[in-house]
Structure 1
């Protein structure tokens, strides 16, 4: 795969438009198009600017990933670790849910289990981390000590 195609891949991986990506290297969209189409190539200064913005320059130049991408923040790492511990079916569900959320659509409502649907039992965590076990419906008297 030519350098231009790998450069486009990196731009897309970072989620940047051609004008925004060109701006990182201090150039124009037209010049970037020329690079991505393989007619010309960025120089060392431009590649250094791309590297500072998170582009895997080793991959762009050689086709081999460097593995030196910026570290995930704590929330991303929790999400990634949790994903890796899931079954194949759960992973597929997470991927679908993430795609829906990223598109701005609400995920499908979770199905209620038989225990949660009609028994009135279970536990719930409230805002102050107090745990409520069970529930009371109808009238209830509270005895004083």
Structure 2
């Protein structure tokens, strides 16, 4: 997975479409699109702006996530993590595909 793919993953995780995320970061929607396609790389000002909205910039840049402590999650996020630990791998793959479909639908909205 490259920087653009991880950036898209973070945007989707936070519930933003490309246009709204671009506005938060102070760039054009086409720039956001190019970042996510891997055709361009975001600069430090962009990364600082999206970090303020909760993007895990270390993950976007390096592909490494630091462990999240339960106290850092919303109640819904904590419940989701608790439930995810009980899901079989075969079922998890189905859920990941469903979440991806929701993300694509949100991008088109």
Residue of structure 2 equivalent to 1:25:
25
Aligned residues: 91
Higher relative contact order at CA 8 Å, sep ≥6: structure 1 or structure 2?
2
Separation in 1, partners of 2:83, 2:41: 38
Q: Which runs of 4+ in 1 moved over 2 A?
A: 66-70, 75-85
User: Cα 1:29–1:66, aligned 2, differ >3 Å: closer, same or farther?
Assistant: same
Structure having the larger proportion of residues in helix: 2
Structure of greater Rg: 1
Give the Å deviation of 1:67: 3.1
TM-score, length basis structure 1: 0.51
Gaps of 5+ in 2: 99-109
RMSD: 3.2
Aligned to 1:72: 73
Point out where structure 1 has 5 or more consecutive residues left out of the alignment: 100-145
In 2, the alpha carbon distance for the partners of 1:40 and 1:84 equals: 34
Q: CA deviation at 1:5?
A: 1.0
Query: What CA deviation, in whole Å up to 9, does each residue of 1:71-126 have, x standing for no partner?
Result: 224x43773587489x669xx8xxx9xx9xxxxxxxxxxxxxxxxxxxxxxxxxxx
Higher strand share: 1
